[in-house]
Amino acid sequence: MFFKKDPRTEALLEMALKQVEKMLREMTSDGKDLAKLKLKKYQKTHYTDCLCPKCNIAKKKNNPHLRGLLEEGFKVYVGEGGGEED
C-alpha cells in the first residue's frame, strides 16, 4: 500500500526546517558550541482551573494528558554541562 505525500504538509515541514537551520546557524555565529545541543519537545496545556469540555473530561478521568492544548513546540538547550550536573 502506497501513501501519497501531502504537498502542503511537505511545504510546511520544509519551511520549519529552514527556520530551525537558520536559528542554529545564528547560534553558531554567536559563538555557541552546538556539540552539547539538546532539543526537548514540550506541550503547554490549559490551567488546572479551566472549565472547557476537554479539561472537564481530563478531571473526570483523572488524566492530565487529556487537557486542552494551548501550545506545542520544542526548546533548545546549549550549554557546558547540558543540565546533567549531580
Tally the domains of the chain: 2
Residue 58 CB: number of other CB atoms within 10 A? Answer: 20
If asked whether residues 46 and 18 sit together in one domain, one would say no
Residue 69 and residue 43: Cα distance in Å, rounded? 7
Predicted model pTM:
0.52
Please check whether residues 49 and 71 belong to one and the same domain: yes
> Is 69 a member of any domain?
yes
The H or E element containing residue 73 is: strand 69-77
Residues 19 and 43 in one domain: no
Cα 1 versus chain centre, distance: 31
CA angle 32, 34, 37 (to 5 degrees): 120
- Residue 86 falls within a domain, yes or no? no
Residue 17 in domain: yes
Are both 24 and 44 inside the same structural domain?
no
Tell me the pLDDT of the chain (86 aa) as tens digits: 556 678 888 898 899 889 989 988 998 898 888 888 888 888 888 888 889 999 999 999 999 888 888 888 888 777 765 444 43
Q: Give the domain range for residue 64.
A: 37-79
